[in-house]
Amino acid sequence: MSGDAGLPGVAAIQERYGTRAQVSESFGEITVDVQAGDWIGLLESARSAGYEFFDWLTGVDDPPDGFSVVAHVFDPRSRGHLLLRTRVPREDPRLPSAVGVFRGADWHERETFEMFGVIFEGHPNLVPLLLPDGFEGFPLRKDFVLAARVAKAWPGAKEPGESDHGSPSRRKTLPPGVPADWGRDG
């Protein structure tokens, strides 16, 4: 690929992983994609190549197959940025924890676990971080139906035509993406 030869560490990563790592450039950012089994090794390689600053980690829902897990790291000396990415399957989204390589990954993995359901094996405290106790589901998955989208009756005054008498009611419709049986009382 062109453009990565001058970026420290990328050549070493390509040399270590060969065809197992796909290096690409998009919008001026270098991205390295590996299989889930090479995830921790990729993080270690990036860190030893000077990308010592862990910026963030998150998930991306990519239906129907699974999720991408993406981390951004930074080399303060060369001012180089890397996006490190892998995929996990939807039916069993598991990935080794990056906390042993970058301590800053702790809360990011907890958030990704809570919002997408990706299990980071070996994480020291993989418990919910943001949502209230008892919350069910993974709200950043594309198949999660947001409660705000469900039509609910307003507890106050009724609109004209919604009582038992008066003018006819407007046609009721649900917002896009809400199943037909949601919000319907018995």
Is 83:57 a contact under the CB 8 Å cutoff?
A: no
For residue range 131-170, list pLDDT tens digits in order. Answer: 999 899 999 999 988 765 555 555 555 555 555 554 555 5
Which of 23, 21, 57, 55 has the alpha carbon at shortest distance from 38?
21
The stretches in the chain having pLDDT less than 50 are: 1-5, 166, 186
Is 70:85 a contact under the CB 8 Å cutoff?
A: yes
Query: In this structure, which amino acid lies at residue 97?
Result: S
Q: Which residue has the tokens 């889930």?
A: 36
Q: Per the structure block, which two tokens stand in for 116? A: 């997408």
The confidence score (pLDDT) of residue 72 equals 97
Instruction: List, in order of start, the domains of the chain with CATH numbers.
Output: 10-121 (3.30.460.80), 145-186 (no CATH)
The confidence score (pLDDT) of residue 142 equals 92
If one counts every other C-beta atom within 10 angstroms of the C-beta of residue 103, the result is 10
Is 174:147 a contact under the CB 8 Å cutoff?
A: no
Whole-number CA gyration radius for the chain: 23
Which of 124, 119, 113, 54 has the alpha carbon at shortest distance from 83?
54
Query: Nearest-5° angle of CA 82, CA 87, CA 89?
Result: 165
The confidence score (pLDDT) of residue 149 equals 53
H or E stretch at 120: strand 119-121
> From CA 26, how far away is CA 83, in angstroms rounded?
10
> From CA 42, how far away is CA 122, in angstroms rounded?
17
The confidence score (pLDDT) of residue 73 equals 97
Is 106:125 a contact under the CB 8 Å cutoff?
A: yes
> From CA 97, how far away is CA 179, in angstroms rounded?
36
